[in-house]
Structure 1
Amino acid sequence: MRTEREAPDGPDPTVLAPQARKGRGAVSHRPGRYEPGERPLEDDGWDSVQKDEAEAPPLRTTVQPDKSKTVIAWNESPDVGFDRSINPYRGCEHGCIYCFARPTHAYLGLSPGLDFETRLFAKHDAAAILARELAKPGYKPAPIGIGTNTDPYQPIERELRITRQVLEVLDRFNHPVTIVTKSALILRDLDILSRMAQRELVQATVSVTTLDPDLARKLEPRAPTPPRRLATIEALAAAGIPTGVLAAPMIPALNDQEMEAILAAAAARGVVRAGYVLLRLPLEIADLFREWLQAHVPDRAEHVLSLMRDTRDGKLYRSGFGTRMRGTGPYAELLRQRYRIAMRKLGLAKRGGGAQGLRNDLFAVPQAERAQFELF
């Protein structure tokens, strides 16, 4: 697949166009906002880059250590429902093209496109750092969100088990936590989650974008299938874990017609609360999503983008608090009304940050942790 760029002597036929790759969401290595200029992929004449997208060379996933000195991230955003979070990983192999965390890879000098889903960073010592932070004098507990940026149960968690180690610390400290994930791997940790649920210390939310397996394969290529996610919801609820569903993101003219069906399917499997988010396209995501539309649904690309502008005051994104999650205008209001009607019919509670009803009063620093902290 090629695109032609104008050169002094005419179009340059060696510049290759973005192309869909099996098992990957982004279709290019589009550079981040801090990088100088574009870096187009070029054919070197040795067939190292295939014209046929089905023969494109596979991209291997690499994992490097994240050497951050702290693990709790703090925020003051009034519309996210929590003031602290933990993200065991930077980058996410699920490859969701719409992921609002993609622009964070630009801080590392990497592409928010394919680098975000292939060049990952893991906080191997997250549990030890967390224990030290929770043991500090004056720390006041409130629900910690896990999975608020990248998925804590993405495929590499199966081997590295960092999320599980973090949960073990929170369990020891009796610290409340909320979890958002797309992955069935959360069921591996039912032993910890069940214990914490009995003390009203945990709530889980499973994100379901679509019930259409074909669309899911393109939007979020390495995430579990929709049926697997619904089964995960059912298993969590059956284990006594307060479970919610997040129908997100709702994308105009692509999956928005499924909102009621997603909420109903989740309600039938035991969720107690639900929420939705309108597609967000901040920073580099706008161009990455435009490339994805052209590669996968070219006939609808401009219609989708036009509707997005209708919900963002003529732009592809507005970052204002209070409207960035739901948008404005007639289309956004219609989506909001559909959500309210569906919630009322299904008897579901609104998902307000996912932290309703969790207990903070049980928090205590274990004696062993206190003694260890005093050594330093």
Structure 2
Amino acid sequence: MSTKEHLKGRGAQQNTPNKFLQHLYETREDFLEFCRLEGEEIESNTTQYIPIFPKTIVNKVTSPDVGMTFSLNPYQGCEHGCIYCYARNTHEYWGYSAGLDFERRILVKKSAPELLEVKLKSKNWKATTIVLSGNTDCYQPAEQKFGLTRKCLEVFLKYRHPVGIITKNAWILKDLDILKELNQYGLIGVNISVTSLSENTRRILEPRTASIQKRLKTIKVLSENNIPVNAMLAPMIPGINSHELLPLAKTVSDNGALSFGLTVVRLNGAIGQIFTDWIQKTMPDRADKVLHQIQDCHGGSLNDSRFGTRTKGEGKIAEQIHEMAQLARKKYFADRVFPKLNHDLHESYKTGQMKLF
């Protein structure tokens, strides 16, 4: 594969250098040419599942922009391959690249359910909604192999503890039975990510995710079962999907979503290089325009690290996006409220069963 060809089935088209490592691995043009002439693969594109052994599983979220206090990630890295994903940078903490490594080397925390149970039984723990997953998708393809998300949901149900879910995969419906049980006690809220109504856009932006129709069906099925759903119309990327905001909001509303959220894309850390390389290969005709519009939302940079503004953006383009969002909420969600989850039951279930006295 030459450096200008598009690697199908993946979002990132390269492995960016890891800022924490002293040495760099560089694939040179002469090596690529040698592999082509010899008919050899440069590297395997197969996903690897690598077990890791954390001591804890519940993470405190300190960012005021994220909208959660605690998160739980059964998997690190994500095979979905969304090109804009802010979580890519966290793969560098494990010694990997934020690029292709993030999609092809999935770290699996097999002890997640047991570690969660220890946390929920702790005398010092007070019920606070824990979100699956604040970093990488808990229903990515690895879930079909390991089933860690379902096992964690079983723990949440056992201890009557509130849990939120963020996903863009229809595989969540395989757990509809346990979601319905959790909902009987007001313990579950689901966030389904829908970034475009165009399947062509979805394929190149989020190559290994569920189709748009499957995601909309997921919202509908969950809503029909009275499970509260918030649609994440995020990120909004000027020149790619920002023009779809109003029809997106109407469509998720028509399928039963109670609310929606959004962010303006920011390309922090290595993601700026990964995204730039990707758009030059997938959308060369509008690459410069899109990159300039993203920069316009962040004071001339692809990234803004300031709390309070980094996910909202600034400037005229960002203002137009938020004005459309206000209009969409008034037009399609005026009479809807996403409920607060129940935090009152857990204390009585810390031993795994209801206290009598």
TM over 0.5: yes
Supply the distance in 2 between the matched residues of 1:204 and 1:224 (Cα, whole angstroms). Answer: 16
Supply the distance in 2 between the matched residues of 1:147 and 1:350 (Cα, whole angstroms). Answer: 25
Q: Alpha-carbon deviations, 1:33-68, whole Å to 9, x = none?
A: 22346533134377535899xx98750001011211
Q: Alpha-carbon deviations, 1:148-179, whole Å to 9, x = none?
A: 11000001101200000010000111111111
Is the contact made by 2:127 and 2:343 (CA closer than 8 Å) also made in structure 1?
Answer: yes
Judged with a 3 Å threshold, the aligned counterparts in structure 2 of structure 1 residues 49 and 240 are, in CA distance, closer, same or farther, namely: farther
Partner of 1:276: 262
What's the offset of the Cα at 1:349?
7.5
Supply the distance in 1 between the matched residues of 2:107 and 2:294 (Cα, whole angstroms). Answer: 32
Is the contact made by 2:120 and 2:350 (CA closer than 8 Å) also made in structure 1?
Answer: no
Is the contact made by 2:166 and 2:190 (CA closer than 8 Å) also made in structure 1?
Answer: yes
Is the contact made by 1:23 and 1:221 (CA closer than 8 Å) also made in structure 2?
Answer: yes
Supply the distance in 1 between the matched residues of 2:16 and 2:217 (Cα, whole angstroms). Answer: 36
Partner of 2:293: 307
Q: Alpha-carbon deviations, 1:237-266, whole Å to 9, x = none?
A: 111110111111111111111111111111
- SS of alignment partner, residue 277 of structure 1: coil
Partner of 1:316: 302
Q: Alpha-carbon deviations, 1:112-151, whole Å to 9, x = none?
A: 1000000010110100011011111121111111121100
Partner of 2:181: 195
What's the offset of the Cα at 1:365?
5.9
Is the contact made by 2:121 and 2:350 (CA closer than 8 Å) also made in structure 1?
Answer: no
Partner of 1:73: 59
Partner of 1:8: none
2:192 matches 1:212: no
Partner of 1:361: 344
Amino acid at match of 2:317: Y
What's the offset of the Cα at 1:79?
2.3
Is the contact made by 2:32 and 2:42 (CA closer than 8 Å) also made in structure 1?
Answer: no
- SS of alignment partner, residue 248 of structure 1: coil
Name whichever of 341-350 and 20-29 sits farther off: 341-350
Amino acid at match of 1:238: E
Q: Alpha-carbon deviations, 1:296-325, whole Å to 9, x = none?
A: 011111111111111111111111111111
Judged with a 3 Å threshold, the aligned counterparts in structure 2 of structure 1 residues 349 and 111 are, in CA distance, closer, same or farther, namely: farther
Identical columns (%): 38
Q: Alpha-carbon deviations, 1:243-293, whole Å to 9, x = none?
A: 111111111111111111111111111000111111121100000000011
Partner of 2:135: 149
Superposition TM-score, scaled by structure 1 size: 0.88
Judged with a 3 Å threshold, the aligned counterparts in structure 2 of structure 1 residues 349 and 154 are, in CA distance, closer, same or farther, namely: farther
Question: What does 1:43-54 align with in structure 2 at a 5 Å threshold?
Answer: 43-44=30-31, 48-49=35-36
Aligned match of 1:338 in 315, 320, 324? 324
Question: What does 1:169-180 align with in structure 2 at a 5 Å threshold?
Answer: 169-180=155-166
Aligned match of 2:82 in 96, 106, 109? 96
Question: What does 1:108-123 align with in structure 2 at a 5 Å threshold?
Answer: 108-123=94-109
2:311 matches 1:328: no
Judged with a 3 Å threshold, the aligned counterparts in structure 2 of structure 1 residues 242 and 160 are, in CA distance, closer, same or farther, namely: same
Supply the distance in 1 between the matched residues of 2:94 and 2:58 (Cα, whole angstroms). Answer: 19
What's the offset of the Cα at 1:89?
0.4
Judged with a 3 Å threshold, the aligned counterparts in structure 2 of structure 1 residues 134 and 18 are, in CA distance, closer, same or farther, namely: farther
Supply the distance in 2 between the matched residues of 1:314 and 1:349 (Cα, whole angstroms). Answer: 38
Partner of 2:15: 29
Name whichever of 361-370 and 289-298 sits farther off: 361-370
Supply the distance in 1 between the matched residues of 2:32 and 2:220 (Cα, whole angstroms). Answer: 52
Unaligned runs of 5+ in 2: none
Amino acid at match of 2:55: K
Supply the distance in 2 between the matched residues of 1:164 and 1:49 (Cα, whole angstroms). Answer: 44
Partner of 1:239: 225
Partner of 1:167: 153
Supply the distance in 2 between the matched residues of 1:46 and 1:295 (Cα, whole angstroms). Answer: 19
Unaligned runs of 5+ in 1: 3-16, 371-376
Is the contact made by 2:81 and 2:207 (CA closer than 8 Å) also made in structure 1?
Answer: yes
Aligned match of 1:252 in 222, 225, 238? 238
Aligned match of 2:68 in 65, 82, 85? 82
Partner of 1:11: none
Partner of 1:6: none
Supply the distance in 2 between the matched residues of 1:182 and 1:334 (Cα, whole angstroms). Answer: 26
Supply the distance in 1 between the matched residues of 2:46 and 2:98 (Cα, whole angstroms). Answer: 16
Superposition TM-score, scaled by structure 2 size: 0.93
RMSD (Å) for aligned C-alpha atoms = 2.2
Supply the distance in 2 between the matched residues of 1:162 and 1:72 (Cα, whole angstroms). Answer: 14
Is the contact made by 1:275 and 1:350 (CA closer than 8 Å) also made in structure 2?
Answer: no
